[in-house]
Amino acid sequence: MIRAAMIGAGLVLTTLGTAPSAVASAPGGDELTRCAELELRVAGLFRVGTALLYLDQCDNARRILDPVPKKFSLELARSFRGEDLIETARSTLKQNLALNDIDELPEPLRCMADAYVDADSGDRYDVIFRPDRGLSMYLNGDLLKHCESAEGAEKYFMIWFGDEPFHRRMRDRLIEEALGNGAAQS
């Protein structure tokens, strides 16, 4: 298994040239558009997985941290331990929210950060935010956790898109590709 903490520094990104396409946002049925897709590699040597960003409109990548419907997916090419993903989610949120202690993490964010479980190569995590329904996390289409409180729940996406994201280049490339696809939709 790869430890999530060791991935950040050597992550290499490959744009997969996603054309916008409408797809259901995992169980729940809302239609979101696949706006960006990146292949993730460590040190350019081995594939970790693929990151995908879905939005109601690709132009909403400009407002990725606002309460707009969105989904971040991670298709894994390696196994990950749930406890490593939990630690990475908690520490990245703590940093982005400028909290002194992890216990200060707002409930909707703590609820979701603690939802990760061990996952194997070929598995897919989907984290979905719906302004009227809160946050949900799925593993291979099966609901792992639903956090109903929607107030501030969109901030969970700071893990990937905040000022101090898990990986800056991943954030920037996903947003850039989504905005390019948004211009193509217009």
The predicted-structure confidence for 23-47, as pLDDT tens digits, reads as follows 544 445 568 999 999 999 887 778 8
Nearest to 121 by CA among 45, 49, 51, 72: 49
User: Considering the chain, what is the average pLDDT of its residues?
Assistant: 84
In CATH, 4-185 is 3.50.70.10: yes
Q: pLDDT per residue over 62-114, tens digit each? A: 999 999 999 999 999 999 999 999 999 999 999 999 999 999 998 889 889 99
Confidence (pLDDT) at 117 = 97
Nearest to 8 by CA among 175, 171, 120: 171
Q: Are 70 and 62 in contact (CB under 8 A)?
A: no
**Cα-flanking dihedrals φ and ψ of residue 71, to 5°?**
-145, 135
Residue ranges of domains in the chain: 4-185
| pLDDT > 50? residue 165 | yes
- Beta-ladder partners of 32: 23
Cα separation, 119 vs 94, in Å, equals 24
Nearest to 157 by CA among 80, 68, 77: 68
